[in-house]
């Protein structure tokens, strides 16, 4: 085994009161009760994920980062739930009589 440094990001999720940890290079997500536990769980989860991979799969799994990651809050536009519901209800309903008859088996 060799040791490799990876980037882990942790953040607190107050809705379920846990710390979520993410490994950026291996796309692994885990959680812990504390910030430190989340970091520890990221290391453990990455090791467990990688221990049974073939050499080819291991190369495919690793996504190196160029430089140091920067974390910041950004604003994105997302659809409103009511907007989505109104799109769904506006879809035309096809009446059964307008559909072609089923062929007998």
pLDDT mean over 6-24: 96
pLDDT computed for residue 58 by the predictor? 87
Give per-residue pLDDT as tens, 73-88: 889 888 888 877 777 7
Here the tokens at position 102 are 């089923």
Going from N- to C-terminal start, the domains of the chain cover 8-74
Here the tokens at position 95 are 């009446």
pLDDT computed for residue 19 by the predictor? 97
The residue ranges of DSSP E strands in the chain, in sequence order, are: 8-13, 18-23, 28-32
pLDDT computed for residue 50 by the predictor? 93
Strand, coil or helix: 60: helix
CB atoms near residue 105 (< 10 Å)? 3
pLDDT mean over 35-55: 95
Strand, coil or helix: 38: helix
């Amino acid at each position: 085994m060799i040791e490799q440094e990876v980037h882990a990001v942790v953040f607190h999720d107050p809705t379920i009161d846990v710390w979520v940890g993410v490994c950026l290079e291996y796309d692994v997500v885990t959680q812990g009760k504390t910030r430190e536990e989340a970091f520890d769980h990221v290391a453990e989860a990455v090791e467990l994920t990688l221990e049974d991979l073939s050499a080819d799969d291991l190369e495919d799994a690793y996504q190196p980062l160029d430089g140091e990651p920067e974390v910041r809050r950004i604003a994105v536009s997302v659809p409103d739930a009511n907007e989505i519901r109104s799109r769904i209800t506006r879809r035309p309903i096809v009446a059964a009589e307008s559909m072609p008859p089923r062929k007998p088996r």
